[in-house]
């Protein structure tokens, strides 16, 4: 007999309010992990019952039935049937249903009850049912279903005590040996179940005003072919303004903070390899990535608000037509858009895409969106080599080239998506079919919890994979040291310098000189590192304004225009970002897809840079 804490699982349709209920029940005492072998998050926490016992609570992914159509739904089925690795069979289920949509939610409830585990039904969103003019009889529902039913309003913490009391009644400490759940309702035809569910819902409904069109008036604008797009554009504009402007100051502050720490370490430690490892390797490397945290959090704040308010599905609705033309679904729009700030939150937010192949395609093309880390590189090279002339009144050539680079990224992503959808991610699309949730005021508390778990995931990655790789890059650039008095600079003498020498011939055909190749090596960590790396290669030290001007002059003197254009093209495509590769590994569970992504992006970068280089030469530029 085991004395383990009983396990209770929250389960129900998507949008029933499971997570809200989970947050209300466990508060901050929760952990976010992953189910082994799949990219499905496992949210767990502890809950004290009124009788003093403690139970483990898990928030299972939303599902419509026990017949899974996504990895998330498969986890839900496997947990409640006791076949999920890394999770024991729950001792009881809290089935969460949306009281304002009983017809649909009771079907899954019937399937779950038939499993034979102790069940209590949380008749959640009771407030919304009232708002919609529905009068429900929980007692009658309980009789019909044969399990206890308690009305709850998760977001107002109503009904929680009663729920806990009922839970105490069904969680049996001595039931360690129990029958495996029976499966008979899984086989029951979904249509039959649905009809049975509708009958029960009707029986439990005392009075029903015709569905009041809450939110429909707003939808007439939000989903309007013209006004809807205008509204979407305004929201996105606000989002990007916030990311780029509100995010800049904290990002600078974080960078300054890391510089300060690095300076302190330099004060107290004598110059040594160890000091260089700590300051130039670890602190600088982690700092370069953590610096993006404010922008990522602002981005996620918007994404979470859009998601929680119910607007996200509307945005997907508006954009579905465009996305469908390249074989994606409307759901891919927001992740791809977020990738204009940074591919990391973009890729993390693809979790809302149900179809596995849609999601994979979206992840694979996300790095083609012009992220903010490319801007410093574009700015430097364009400023140095593209003439500052006006091609039309108010239209400068430099700005035009910059716009061209952005467009190139988008067109590239669309073409690649089209090709992938016909080759490696081929498959029957599950299309675009989804419930449009009711509009809701997002709750601050849920937003805070959501933001916190994202920040934690990001920082953990910065602290592990990314720190490790930046240290490796640092080592490549620092060793071996040139002998005393050698005329060769340390960078050129290092392993990285030698690698650059070795691979330079491969890059000569696309117009890259050895200096560029050398700068690209540390820029594998993050694209904007290329600017500092070029500085190091050309022996220009810190990055004050004066040095930036000097840098531009240096590039102007040493690079031809075709070389500069080829370099820009390289940065449109090349996967020069360890964070992106790391997050792709995490989100696709393995190295296959990140390896594929890196491979195809490098190939594209090489071809595009070469094509532009030779075209420019041919045009006599």
Partner 1 sequence: MDMSHPVKLPLSLESLPHRQVATVAAIDWAHLSTPEARRLRELGFDEGVGIEVLHRASLGRGPIACRIGRMTVALRRAVAGAIFVSPVTH
Ligand X SMILES: Nc1nc2c(ncn2[C@@H]2O[C@H](COP(=O)(O)OP(=O)(O)O)[C@@H](O)[C@H]2O)c(=O)[nH]1
Residues at the interface with Mg ion (CB under 5 A): 19
φ, ψ at 392 (rounded to 5°): -140, 160
Smallest separation (angstroms) from ligand X to the CB of 69: 16
Among the candidate windows 143-151, 315-323, 498-506, 507-515, which touches partner 1 by CB under 8 A?
315-323
User: Distance (Å, rounded) from C-alpha 476 to C-alpha 201?
Assistant: 67
User: Distance (Å, rounded) from C-alpha 225 to C-alpha 112?
Assistant: 41
Residue 15 touches which of ligand X, Mg ion, partner 1, none (Cβ within 5-8 Å per kind): ligand X
Among 56, 59, 78, 132, contact with partner 1 (rule: CB under 8 A):
132
Considering beta carbons, is residue 439 or 468 the nearer one to partner 1? 439
Considering beta carbons, is residue 190 or 305 the nearer one to partner 1? 190
Say what the alpha-carbon torsion angle 83, 89, 94, 97 is, to the nearest 10 degrees: 0
State which of positions 200-259 bind ligand X (CB under 6 A). none
Among 37, 40, 43, 41, smallest CA distance to 85 is for: 37
What are the CA-CA distances from residue 553 to residues 220, 540, 546, 556 (Å)? 55, 11, 11, 5
State which of positions 304-343 bind ligand X (CB under 6 A). 308
Q: Does 45 bind ligand X (CB under 6 A)?
A: no
Q: Which residues contact 243 (CB under 8 A, 6 or more apart)?
A: 295, 298, 299, 302, 341, 372
Using DSSP's 3-state secondary structure scheme, residue 499 falls into helix
Q: Does 154 bind ligand X (CB under 6 A)?
A: yes
Among the candidate windows 1-9, 151-159, 494-502, 574-582, which touches ligand X by CB under 6 A?
151-159
Among 6, 9, 15, 571, contact with ligand X (rule: CB under 6 A):
15
For residue 425 the two structure tokens come to: 């991610």
Per DSSP, 373 falls in state T
Q: Which 3-state string (H, E, C) describes 571-620?
A: HHHCCCCHHHHHHHHHHHCCCHHHHHHHHHHHHHHHHHHHHHHHHHHHCC
For residue 330 the two structure tokens come to: 């409307």
Q: Does 105 bind ligand X (CB under 6 A)?
A: no
**553: number of CA atoms within 13 Å, CB side?**
7
Per DSSP, 58 falls in state E
User: Distance (Å, rounded) from C-alpha 496 to C-alpha 474?
Assistant: 9
Among the candidate windows 312-320, 391-399, 511-519, 606-614, which touches partner 1 by CB under 8 A?
312-320
Residue 101 touches which of Mg ion, partner 1, ligand X, none (Cβ within 5-8 Å per kind): partner 1
Q: Does 356 bind partner 1 (CB under 8 A)?
A: no
Among 34, 352, 430, 513, contact with partner 1 (rule: CB under 8 A):
430
- What character string, x for contact with partner 1 (CB under 8 A) and - otherwise, covers 577-606? ------------------------------
Residue 65 touches which of ligand X, partner 1, Mg ion, none (Cβ within 5-8 Å per kind): partner 1
Q: Does 321 bind partner 1 (CB under 8 A)?
A: yes
Q: Does 194 bind partner 1 (CB under 8 A)?
A: yes
Smallest separation (angstroms) from ligand X to the CB of 596: 32
Considering beta carbons, is residue 321 or 556 the nearer one to partner 1? 321
User: Distance (Å, rounded) from C-alpha 552 to C-alpha 543?
Assistant: 12
- What character string, x for contact with ligand X (CB under 6 A) and - otherwise, covers 446-465? x-------------------
Q: Under rule CB under 6 A, how many of the chain's residues touch ligand X?
A: 20
Considering beta carbons, is residue 439 or 468 the nearer one to ligand X? 439
User: Distance (Å, rounded) from C-alpha 164 to C-alpha 258?
Assistant: 47
CB-based contact 327:431 (threshold 8 Å): no
Q: Does 17 bind ligand X (CB under 6 A)?
A: yes
Q: Which residues contact 565 (CB under 8 A, 6 or more apart)?
A: 612, 613, 616, 621
Q: Does 155 bind ligand X (CB under 6 A)?
A: yes
Say what the alpha-carbon torsion angle 315, 316, 322, 325 is, to the nearest 10 degrees: 180
Residue 155 touches which of partner 1, Mg ion, ligand X, none (Cβ within 5-8 Å per kind): ligand X
User: Distance (Å, rounded) from C-alpha 604 to C-alpha 56?
Assistant: 49
Among 178, 443, 445, 498, contact with ligand X (rule: CB under 6 A):
443
Taking every pair of Cα atoms in the chain, the longest distance, rounded to a whole number of angstroms, is 92
Among 88, 180, 195, 264, contact with partner 1 (rule: CB under 8 A):
195
Q: By CB under 8 A, name the binding residues for partner 1.
A: 64-65, 67, 69, 100-101, 103-104, 107, 132, 190-191, 194-195, 211, 216, 219-220, 223-225, 228, 313, 316-318, 320-321, 324, 330, 355, 428-436
Rule CB under 6 A: which residues touch ligand X?
12, 14-20, 62, 124-125, 127-128, 153-155, 308, 440, 443, 446
């Amino acid at each position: 007999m085991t004395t383990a804490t009983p396990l209770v699982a929250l389960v129900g349709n998507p949008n029933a309010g499971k997570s809200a209920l989970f947050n209300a029940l466990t508060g901050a005492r929760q952990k976010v992990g992953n189910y082994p072998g799949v990219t499905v998050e496992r949210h767990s926490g502890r809950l004290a019952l009124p009788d003093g016992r403690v139970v483990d609570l898990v928030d299972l992914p939303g599902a419509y039935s026990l017949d899974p159509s996504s990895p998330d739904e498969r986890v839900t089925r496997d947990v409640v049937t006791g076949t999920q690795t890394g999770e024991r069979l729950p001792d009881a289920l809290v089935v969460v249903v949306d009281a304002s949509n009983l017809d649909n939610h009771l079907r899954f409830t019937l399937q779950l009850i038939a499993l034979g585990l102790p069940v209590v039904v949380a008749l959640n969103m009771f407030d919304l049912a009232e708002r919609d003019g529905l009068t429900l009889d929980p007692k009658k529902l309980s009789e019909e279903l044969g399990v206890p039913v308690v009305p709850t309003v998760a977001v107002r913490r109503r009904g929680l005590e009663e729920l806990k009391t009922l839970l105490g009644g069904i969680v049996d400490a001595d039931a360690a040996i129990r029958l495996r759940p029976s499966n008979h309702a899984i086989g029951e035809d979904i249509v039959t179940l649905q009809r049975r569910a509708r009958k029960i819902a009707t029986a439990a409904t005392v009075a029903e005003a015709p569905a009041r069109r809450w939110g429909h008036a707003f939808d007439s604008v939000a989903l309007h072919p013209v006004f809807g797009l205008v509204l979407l554009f305004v929201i996105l504009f606000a989002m990007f303004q916030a990311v780029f402007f509100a995010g800049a100051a904290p990002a600078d502050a974080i960078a300054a903070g890391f510089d300060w720490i690095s300076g302190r370490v330099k004060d107290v430690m004598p110059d040594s390899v160890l000091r260089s490892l700590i300051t130039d390797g670890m602190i600088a490397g982690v700092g370069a990535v953590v610096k993006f945290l404010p922008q990522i959090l602002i981005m996620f704040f918007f994404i979470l608000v859009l998601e929680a308010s119910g607007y996200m599905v509307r945005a997907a609705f508006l954009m579905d037509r465009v996305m469908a033309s390249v074989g994606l679904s409307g759901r891919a729009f927001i992740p791809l858009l977020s990738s204009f700030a940074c591919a990391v939150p973009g890729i993390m937010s693809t979790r809302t895409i149900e179809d596995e192949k849609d999601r994979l395609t979206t992840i694979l093309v996300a790095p083609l969106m012009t992220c903010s880390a490319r801007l410093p590189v574009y700015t430097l090279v364009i400023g140095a080599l593209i003439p500052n002339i006006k091609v039309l009144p108010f239209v400068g050539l430099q700005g035009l080239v910059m716009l061209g680079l952005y467009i190139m990224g988008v067109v590239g992503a669309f073409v690649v998506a089209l090709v992938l959808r016909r080759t490696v991610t081929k498959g029957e699309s599950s299309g675009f079919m989804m419930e449009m949730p009711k509009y809701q005021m997002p709750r601050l508390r849920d937003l805070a919890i959501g933001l916190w778990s994202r920040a934690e995931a990001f920082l953990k990655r910065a602290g592990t994979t990314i720190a490790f790789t930046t240290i490796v890059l640092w080592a490549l650039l620092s060793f071996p040291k040139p002998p005393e008095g050698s005329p060769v600079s340390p960078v050129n003498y290092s392993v990285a310098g030698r690698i650059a020498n070795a691979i330079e011939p491969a890059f000569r055909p696309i117009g890259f000189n050895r200096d560029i190749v050398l700068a690209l090596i540390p820029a594998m960590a993050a694209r904007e590192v290329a600017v500092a790396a070029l500085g190091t290669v050309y022996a220009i030290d810190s990055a004050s304004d004066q040095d930036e001007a000097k840098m531009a002059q240096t590039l102007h003197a040493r690079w031809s225009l075709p070389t500069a254009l080829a370099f820009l093209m390289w940065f449109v495509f090349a996967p020069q970002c360890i964070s992106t590769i790391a997050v792709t590994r995490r989100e696709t569970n393995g190295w296959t897809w990140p390896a594929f992504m890196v491979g195809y992006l490098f190939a594209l970068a090489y071809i595009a840079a070469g094509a532009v280089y030779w075209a420019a030469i041919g045009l006599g530029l």
